[in-house]
Structure 1
Amino acid sequence: MKTKEFNNKKLKLYIDMKTSVVKDVLLVATFAGFAYLVVRNYKQRKKREEEALEFLHFQLF
């Protein structure tokens, strides 16, 4: 009887650890995705500003 209880506890711990790992991976993936979107938006905005300045420069000179 004790071995069965021990195995059940061991299995439960293993499943809890697996779900914990899955949660951690999803959390890291979420942060990485958010960081990617922020960086992409920043680069696009900088590129638009640079193109606008270049256009203005060519219009003036």
Structure 2
Amino acid sequence: MPWLMIVVLLLVLALAGAGFALKLLWILAAVLLVLWLAGFVARSTGPSGRRSRWYRW
């Protein structure tokens, strides 16, 4: 039954790939959160010297 071994191997590869992708997405989400917080803290001041809103709507 070599086809069963191939199916199990493909399943293991798929799960390993999903685990890597999920870890990569967590790292990307953490980087984006840090950048968003840095933009929130370091927002520019407007012409009147007051800080502008950190959102656009």
Normalising by structure 1, report the TM-score: 0.69
Unaligned runs of 5+ in 2: 51-57
Distance in 1 between residues matched to 2:15 and 2:40, nearest whole Å: 37
- AA aligned to 2:7 is L
Q: How many residues are treated as equivalent by the alignment?
A: 47
Distance in 1 between residues matched to 2:5 and 2:23, nearest whole Å: 27
For residue 39 of structure 1, report the CA deviation from its aligned partner: 0.2
- 2:37 corresponds to which residue? 41
Distance in 2 between residues matched to 1:20 and 1:14, nearest whole Å: 10
- 1:16 corresponds to which residue? 12
**What CA RMSD, in Å, does the superposition of the two structures yield over aligned residues?**
1.1
CA radius of gyration, larger in: 1
Unaligned runs of 5+ in 1: 56-61
Normalising by structure 2, report the TM-score: 0.73
Runs of 4+ in structure 1 over 3 Å off: none
